[in-house]
Structure 1
Amino acid sequence: MSVLVNVRGWLECDDQQLARIREIVEQDDPDRTYSGGWAFPPRQYNFVNWVLFGAQMRDHSVGWFLDRLRSVARIPASDEDNDLITGLFLVSHEVDGMSEWQVRDGTVVIQAASETYRFLNE
Structure 2
Amino acid sequence: MYASVRGWLEIDFKQRSAAEEIIRRHHDDLYSGGWAFPTAPFNWTLYLFYGGDIREARLPWLRAQLDELAAMSPVDEDGDRPVGLFLVSDERGGATGWEVRGGRIREEATPSLSWLQE
Q: Name the TM-score class by shorter chain.
A: over 0.9
Give the SS at the match of 2:21. helix
Letter in 2 for 1:121: Q
Give the SS at the match of 1:87. strand
Matching of residues 28-107 of structure 1 within 5 Å: 28-31=26-29, 33-95=30-92, 97-107=94-104
Letter in 2 for 1:29: H
Q: TM-score by structure 2 length?
A: 0.93
Name the stretch that deviates more: 87-96 or 66-75. Answer: 87-96
Whether contact under 8 Å (1:7, 1:53) holds in the other structure is yes
Question: Alignment partner for residue 25 of structure 2, among 24, 27, 39?
Answer: 27
Q: Which ranges of structure 1 fall in alignment gaps of 5 or more residues?
A: none
Q: What is the root-mean-square deviation in Å for CA atoms of aligned residues?
A: 1.4
Identity fraction in percent: 37
- Displacement of 1:114: 5.0
Letter in 2 for 1:53: Y
Please name the residue that 1:118 is paired with.
114
Whole-angstrom CA distance in 1 between matches of 2:61 and 2:86:
15
Whole-angstrom CA distance in 1 between matches of 2:26 and 2:111:
32
C-alpha deviations, 1:5-43, integer Å up to 9, x for none?
Answer: 000000001012222111111123342x41111001111
Whole-angstrom CA distance in 1 between matches of 2:3 and 2:114:
14
Question: Alignment partner for residue 8 of structure 2, among 7, 10, 15?
Answer: 10
Give the SS at the match of 2:27. coil
Aligned residues: 118
Give the SS at the match of 1:35. helix
- Displacement of 1:119: 2.6
